[in-house]
């Protein structure tokens, strides 16, 4: 009989592959008309996404097997390389603007979004630093510095969605490490003040809040995406219109293969299809946190918890936005949305989680009880 750990691994890998395959199918369906109009080809998105998927799974397999994944110094190097990349996006000729945000680096035919990669690198770097302070006074300003530096650089692009995901997943790592509730209360109060300041310095964010409260107040402007997303989800009914039969993908919903792909899934496969997607994410996340609590090293626990929190919160944020429960912000749906950087980052996180499942002690690290592993 397969052990519980074996079942967790099977559930984890199966759900991740299923979500990616479903994503590949719906990237084609959602993006076919968009590709025809803008590229005179109905298949550019599925071809690229297929390549992204193969490369991402290959890199995840390497991360899972490589002993470098357990090396805390490697995470420090990756963190600072990601910081350099975040700075580089603001350099003319290197960084590129898309959808009003200068968050991309163009390297010939390849474009990368450093804000995606810093989310993974930060978790590893933060976990490494927390292990070093184990048994000492937990609070350290350097932990906040590791978080706030990339958050500030991402906000300069600007990219509020990625910033929120980065901060939330990092704070989960701090919570698991033992930071006090008093700390999070103080941070929460400061966060409310920062949120108000962000709105005050960028009026378009206030417009998004207004459109969230009443999207019909500006149906052709700030409320357009939210309304069109609901127009996709609502008529789907129990079984949907059928694969490939979305109406909103005909330029009603902008770039439907990206952030709003869940709307198209709900429209074409209905409540049943949307529920299957949600259940697959639930299985994936239960398996992730099941893996986390079975790791033996403190470093492993912190890293796996952080990776799981990152994917969980990004999924929650994306589905909350497309269903009208949250204000509109540009966030991809993990494993499913079109985009190489997003898919690669998600699979990198999956590879890290599988690595620590196969190597519970996480190498020469500090265990939960504070003693060193061999």
pLDDT one-digit tens code per residue, 134-179 = 555 667 788 999 999 999 999 888 888 899 999 999 999 999 988 8
- SS3 of residue 71 by DSSP: coil
pLDDT digits over 15-30, tens only? 999 999 999 999 999 9
Q: What are the distances in angstroms from CA 282 to CA 128, 287, 357?
A: 28, 8, 19
Mean pLDDT of the chain: 87
* Distance, CA of 195 to CA of 208 (rounded, Å): 13
* Distance, CA of 350 to CA of 344 (rounded, Å): 10
Q: Band the pLDDT of 367: cuts 50, 70, 90.
A: very low
Q: Both ends of the chain: CA-CA distance in Å?
A: 30
Please compute the mean of the pLDDT values over residues 248-271 and round it to a whole number.
Answer: 91
pLDDT of residue 371: 44
Beta bridge partners of residue 372, listed in sequence order = 366
Q: What are the distances in angstroms from CA 132 to CA 205, 354, 356, 364, 367?
A: 39, 23, 19, 12, 11
List Cβ neighbours of 167 (8 Å cut-off, separation of 6 or more). Answer: 147, 151
Question: What value, to the nearest 5°, has the Cα angle with vertex 152 and ends 146 and 158?
Answer: 140
The model's pTM is 0.90
**Burial classification of residue 76, based on how many CB atoms lie within 10 Å of its CB (0-12 exposed, 13-18 middle, 19 or more buried):** middle
């Amino acid at each position: 009989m397969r052990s519980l750990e074996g079942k967790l691994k099977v559930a984890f890998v199966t759900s991740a592959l299923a979500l990616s395959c479903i994503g590949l199918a719906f990237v084609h369906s959602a993006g076919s008309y968009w590709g025809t109009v803008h590229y005179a080809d109905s298949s550019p998105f599925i071809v690229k996404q297929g390549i992204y998927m193969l490369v991402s799974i290959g890199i995840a397999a390497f991360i899972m097997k490589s002993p470098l994944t357990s090396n805390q110094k490697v995470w420090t190097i990756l963190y600072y390389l990601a910081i350099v990349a975040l700075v580089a996006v603001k350099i003319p000729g290197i960084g590129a603007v898309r959808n009003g945000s200068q968050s991309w680096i163009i390297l010939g035919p390849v474009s990368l979004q450093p804000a995606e990669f810093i989310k993974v690198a930060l978790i590893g770097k933060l976990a490494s630093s927390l292990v070093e302070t184990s048994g000492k006074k937990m609070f350290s300003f350097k932990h906040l510095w590791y978080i706030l530096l990339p958050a500030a650089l991402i906000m300069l692009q600007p990219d509020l969605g990625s910033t929120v995901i980065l901060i939330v997943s990092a704070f989960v790592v701090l919570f698991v490490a033992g930071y006090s509730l008093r700390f999070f209360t103080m941070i929460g109060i400061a966060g409310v003040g920062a949120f108000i300041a962000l709105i005050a310095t960028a009026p378009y964010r206030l417009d998004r809040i207004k459109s969230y409260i009443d999207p019909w107040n500006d149906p052709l402007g700030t409320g357009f995406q939210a309304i069109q997303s609901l127009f996709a989800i609502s008529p789907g009914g129990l079984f949907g219109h059928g694969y490939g039969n979305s109406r909103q993908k005909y330029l009603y919903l902008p770039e439907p293969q990206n952030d709003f792909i869940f709307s198209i899934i709900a429209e074409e496969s209905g409540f049943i299809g949307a529920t299957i997607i949600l259940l697959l994410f639930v299985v994936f996340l239960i398996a992730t946190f099941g893996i986390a609590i079975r790791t033996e090293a403190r470093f492993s626990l912190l890293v796996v918890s952080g990776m799981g929190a990152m994917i969980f919160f990004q999924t929650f944020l994306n589905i909350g936005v497309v269903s009208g429960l949250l204000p509109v912000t540009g966030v991809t749906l993990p494993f499913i949305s079109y985009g190489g950087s997003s898919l690669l980052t998600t699979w990198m996180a999956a590879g890290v989680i599988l690595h620590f499942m196969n190597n519970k002690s996480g190498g020469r690290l500090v265990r939960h009880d504070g003693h060193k592993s061999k």
